[in-house]
Amino acid sequence: MRLWGGRFGDGPDARMADFTRSIEVDAELALDDIAGSIAHVRGLARAGLVTAEEALALEDGLVSLREDVVGGRVAWDPALEDVHMNLETMLTERVGAVGGKLHTGRSRNDQVATDLRLWTRRAIGRLDEGIVALERALIDLAERDGDTVLPGTTHIQPAQPVLFAHHLLAYVEMLERDRGRLADARRRLNLSPLGSGALAGAGYPLDRETTAAELGFDGVTANSLDATSDRDFVVEVLSAAALAMVHLSRFAEEITWWSNPRFGFVRVADAFSTGSSMMPNKKNPDPAELVRGRSAGVIGALTSTLALIKGLPLAYQRDLQEDKPAFFAALATLDASLGVMAGLVETLAVNRSRMQEAAEEGYTTATALADALVRRGVPFRAAHHIVGGLVGGAEAEGKRTLAQLPDEAFRAALDGSDDATARRLAHEKGIAHALREAATVEGSLASADVTGGTAPARVAAALARAKARLSA
Ligand code: ARG
């Protein structure tokens, strides 16, 4: 007999039952459902709705059920529709008629809302650990190979040299914000809907606050209609998860380029690569590609959940059952992606000389050279023009870097300027030497000496701060 079968004559059509049931998905909530039930039973006892002995029998039954769920000994019955009715039925089989008192003052609507908040809280805890582990891997790599220089790009073209550590720490910053967004969502979702009933509020004087506290909630939801039908927390967490996946995807994209032999900046470990069934030469960074690919599904989960909710009147509508499949899958994807990216980073081999060599290509020190002229009193616009001329000359003469230009080239460029200060500098002793120093990779790095810049001392400080933040 269906738990809700009282008013029904005919049993459910098989097509309807198959279509509406959710046990395959919401069995995931079993432990949270049991935790919620135990707290609810205690609340019923406090309100005098079950005796102390009844409460004990119910709680013992729920505890034994929990052991069987944890031990994988529970067989879910598809005919019982969802996890809530499966567990209630199993409980009643174990404890007898008193099982029929469990659902007093509770609806599956406040129940599933409670379960999902508890589940989400646990999921956020796991994700936070995963993010921290990836941050640690990035920080370790930054400490190991971070003094290597990378050609920083904009428009994918060589722009300015940056320390590899600086590049890695950019992702640490993104991941820290991802952690912050999840923590922020957790803070808002950590309220108990129990006691909201189906929509109007439970018909008994339940002490919702104590039950909430037992479940580790910070308080209770303020409106029963909202509490039973709101899934903002799912959207918030999915939004944070989608953004985190986008961050991982950007990094994954860089790994695929860097590991291409044309770049040769890094080697992905064999353990994080796959081969081709046809081409014996192939070694592919598949985990990175799949992180990039699976980010699509997480973005999809966010948009599908927003679309799911947008047309729903208050309060609970069965549509809300569809909040779970994409949500569960999305957070599992993020969790697994964090793990595989951490492994990939931990085992990444860095080719320092290839990076260093590339860092100088494309006259990446030109901005530092212009800045050196500005420091000697040349207006920036004039300096930009002078250095632009030097770059053009170097390119025409097949010089790979600005530092390779002869003294004469520096003096001629200054002398040809329409800026009087620059023309005066052309005749200053040692000027070519000083400018050539400024135009080295080291000179360029050292000049970005601001908070958040890539000057080695700044990066060392940022690295120390990132480490301290993680251990705080
Ligand atoms: N399986 C349902 C869900 O996930 C549980 C709540 C069902 N409530 C109801 N009134 N049919 O949303």
Per-residue pLDDT reduced to its tens digit, 359-384: 999 999 999 999 999 999 999 999 99
Alpha-carbon gap, residue 64 to 60, rounded angstroms: 6
**C-alpha triplet 335, 339, 341: angle, nearest 5°:** 115
Beta-ladder partners of 153? 158
User: Given a cut of 90, is residue 2 above it in pLDDT?
Assistant: no
DSSP 270-316: GGG-B--SS-TT--B-HHHHHHHHHHHHHHHHHHHHHHHHHTPPSS-
Q: Which CATH class is domain 14-104?
A: mainly alpha
If you take atom 3 of ligand 1, which residue's CA is the nearest one? 321
> Please, which pLDDT band fits residue 5 given cuts at 50, 70 and 90?
confident
For residue range 329-348, list pLDDT tens digits in order.
999 999 999 999 999 999 99
The ligand 1 site (C-beta within 6 Å) comprises 22, 26, 82, 108-109, 112, 316, 318, 320-321
Q: From ligand 1's centre to the CA of 241, what distance in Å? A: 25
Location of structure tokens 């909040």: 323
Taking the domains of the chain in order of start, what are their residue ranges? 14-104, 109-205+218-357, 361-471
Would you state the pLDDT for residue 27? 98
Tell me if domain 14-104 and domain 109-205+218-357 are identical in fold. no
Count of H helices and E strands in the chain?
A: 20, 6
**What's the CA-to-centroid distance between 81 and ligand 1, angstroms?**
9
Q: What SS3 state is found at 149?
A: strand
Q: 417-450 pLDDT, tens per residue?
A: 999 999 999 999 999 999 999 999 999 999 999 9
Specify the 3-state DSSP secondary structure of 152: strand
Tally the residues of the chain. Answer: 472
Cα-Cα-Cα-Cα dihedral sign, residues 97, 101, 102, 106: positive
CATH number of the domain at 109-205+218-357, please? 1.20.200.10
CA of 19 to the centre of ligand 1 (A): 13
Q: Which atom of ligand 1 is nearest to the CA of 324?
A: 4
* Domain 361-471 bears CATH identifier 1.10.40.30: yes
**Residue 385, SS3 per DSSP:** helix
The catalytic residue positions are: 155, 276
Strand partners, 219: 191
**Contact residues for 37 (Cβ-Cβ < 8 A; gap 6+):** 58, 62, 87, 91, 102
Atom of ligand 1 minimally distant from the CA of 316: 10
- Across 206-227, b (16+ Cβ under 10 Å) vs e yields bebeebbebbebeebbeebebb
